Amino acid sequence: MNWIKDWWIKSFFLCCLASTSSPEQVTQLDLGQLDWTLTSSSGTRNISVKGHVPGGVYTDLQTAGIIGDLYFRFNSVEYSWIGETDWIYSADLVVDDGIISKESIELECQGLDTVSSIWLNNERVGTSNNMFVRYIYPIKELLKPGLNRLEFRFKSGVVYAQEEYDRQAKEYIVPPSCVPKQYQGVCHANHIRKMQASFSWDWGPSAPSVGIWKPLHLVAFDNIRFKYVMWDVEEVNELLLSVNLRVIFQPGTMEKVKAEIGYEIRDVFEREVVLVELVKTQDNEMEWSTSIQIPKADVSLWWPNGRGEQILYDVLLDIGVEADTGDIQLMDKVFYEKGLGFRTVELVQDPMEIEGNSFYFKINGEPVFMKVSNWIPGHVLPEKVSKEYIYDLLYSAKEANMNMLRVWGGGIYELEEFYQTADQLGILIWQDMMFACSMYPADQASLFNIRSEIKHQVRRISRHPSIALWAGNNENEAALRGNWYGTDTNFSVYKEDYIRLYVDTVQTEILKEDRSRPFLLSSPSNGNINQQEGFISQNPYNPLYGDVHVYNYRDNNWDPEIYGVPRFCSEYGFQSFPSFELVQSVSQAEDWRVQKSRKKGAP
């Protein structure tokens, strides 16, 4: 029977909420199994190749033999035409009467990269403009029995970002206008809600891909289904812990329902059933929450690497709806295998006897020294990253005695497998929001888009015990105060935008969804005195408060006396050459010289 278990586990990972659903009530089709075609729809090249979902245009073109390895020599520059082209992913979808008969049929897109319009049978279903948002489109009225044509028409992210920059520039410039020329990258990443590093960074190439980069499903159901399940753990007193459980439902066509909700924490809390009336909100959702008090003596705590075990418990939920007969009919159920860790987290920022404030973490009430590295995307093309690759890197971090990783704000909110693996290995996660080294537009349309992003991502990952802290951005406060991009010429405007974006929007949305973890407006920052300084400190790198980033290429780094003693160092290191074996795999012999010329007599 092992093959049944293997199949179930595979299905478990493919579903966005790691859930299984009652096949009688919720039908979920994995549209990645369709025969997809990728076609160019702009530019001078006429290309049509096999597409893949999840996937992306660079990977599909390489698989088809149109391009070579993006990392080889100067290919990332030579392939710039890919990011400047519009592309279409299309497939035929066959549905039967069993699906058509459902009350609600939805197209659920876990990740679209990035700007697209979605068409079903030549009718527009909807649009996307954010790589980090989960899009759900009702399609019952457009779907027909038998053959259906599905198309995702992607606009060039490079062209879109330029257009958005030009539109904003009519009022004022939101800098930086472009990346340094040494990056050989693309301009205006800050004008599109996309992985910022895909337009290039100082450590990586430009590869502004498009595609359906996360799983894609057709979901058909009656009445109601699970959308998000969240929980956090807090200490009630010395003897009790509380699990605060919150569930968001997708109601389909229902305005209100009488529902029976069952929930259980296996081996800790026996299944309990409650009868509730759920009412649709303005956000087209239904919500229910409860708190479960559990004696500490009944559970084993979850600890970070090096301080104890990572004990995780199964969580099961189901929902039934009252039928006309008065009976309860099961609608949907979810199962989170080893998903709940009993742990508390506190960021201590107390005045010190010497100058400044402390800045350290307590886990389960005990101070823990954090041994931290930063995590950038595993590949500039996210579809290249497998769960095996994630496990290998996180296990290496564990073996190096690390107990925290900072998910850096210029990449992506990581895959579900990343957070699951961190839970299992005891790697705490400092989670940046995806804003880095730039000013960002703060008009109403941009803020609405960002609000949707933050809400979705916090709801998606906040149940993981590995998540220890939320941070609003990477180095944007430091960039504004330090005048990295000439913002002093209009400082008050950029400060107002900064506060509107990170204080009024990002912070507000995070605290609305999750108050169980600390939040920092930026990294680096002066921590809890940041607000006293008007949210833009005179010196965001003050070592007496908050966290700092340290890069020092001027001094002798073999001399221990050059290193300061900050309260917390959340980013540090040296850019270095990779191993020769790696360089050799992406280069030719003529590239193997550091200098352009050698001095006479040099080896």
Delimiting residues of CATH 3.20.20.80 domain(s) in the chain: 370-572
Is 475 catalytic? The answer is yes
Out of 475, 477, 509, 513, which one is annotated catalytic?
Answer: 475
Tell me: the pLDDT tens digits for 265-278?
A: 999 999 999 999 99
pLDDT of residue 241: 97
Superfamily of domain 224-340: Immunoglobulins (2.60.40.10)
Top-tier CATH class for 23-218: mainly beta
Helix (H, G, I), strand (E, B) or coil at 89: strand
- Average pLDDT for the chain: 93
Rounded to whole angstroms, the Cα distance separating 440 from 176 reads: 9
- Which amino acid, one-letter code, is at 78? E
Residues with Cβ within 8 Å of 208's Cβ and at least 6 positions away in sequence, in order, are 83, 156, 157, 158, 186, 194, 198, 199
Distances (CA, A) of 226 to 222, 318, 524, 531: 12, 9, 37, 38
Select from 49, 55, 126, 44 the least CA-distant residue to 86. 44
Delimiting residues of CATH 2.60.120.260 domain(s) in the chain: 23-218
For the segment 404-411, the average pLDDT, to the nearest whole number, is 98
Residues with Cβ within 8 Å of 131's Cβ and at least 6 positions away in sequence, in order, are 111, 112, 113, 114, 193, 194, 195, 213, 412
What is the reported pTM? 0.93
10 Å Cβ neighbour count for 502? Answer: 24
Angle among Cα 404, 405, 411 to the nearest 5 degrees reads 165
Rounded to whole angstroms, the Cα distance separating 583 from 78 reads: 19
pLDDT of residue 7: 35
Out of 106, 264, 414, 571, which one is annotated catalytic?
Answer: 571
Tell me: the pLDDT tens digits for 34-60?
A: 999 999 999 889 999 999 999 999 999
For the segment 339-359, the average pLDDT, to the nearest whole number, is 96
Of residues 20 and 88, more confidence is placed in: 88
How does residue 24 score in pLDDT terms, banded at 50, 70 and 90?
low
Residues with Cβ within 8 Å of 392's Cβ and at least 6 positions away in sequence, in order, are none
Distances (CA, A) of 275 to 227, 248, 260, 400, 560: 19, 16, 4, 49, 64
Distances (CA, A) of 43 to 37, 322, 602: 18, 56, 49
Domain 370-572: assigned CATH number: 3.20.20.80
- Which amino acid, one-letter code, is at 125? V
Residues with Cβ within 8 Å of 363's Cβ and at least 6 positions away in sequence, in order, are 303, 304, 307, 343, 344, 345, 428, 468
Is 571 catalytic? The answer is yes
Beta bridge partners of 519: 470
Distances (CA, A) of 560 to 370, 385, 565, 570: 20, 37, 11, 19
pLDDT of residue 354: 86
Tell me: the pLDDT tens digits for 291-314?
A: 999 999 999 999 999 999 999 999
Angle among Cα 509, 511, 513 to the nearest 5 degrees reads 70
Helix (H, G, I), strand (E, B) or coil at 489: helix
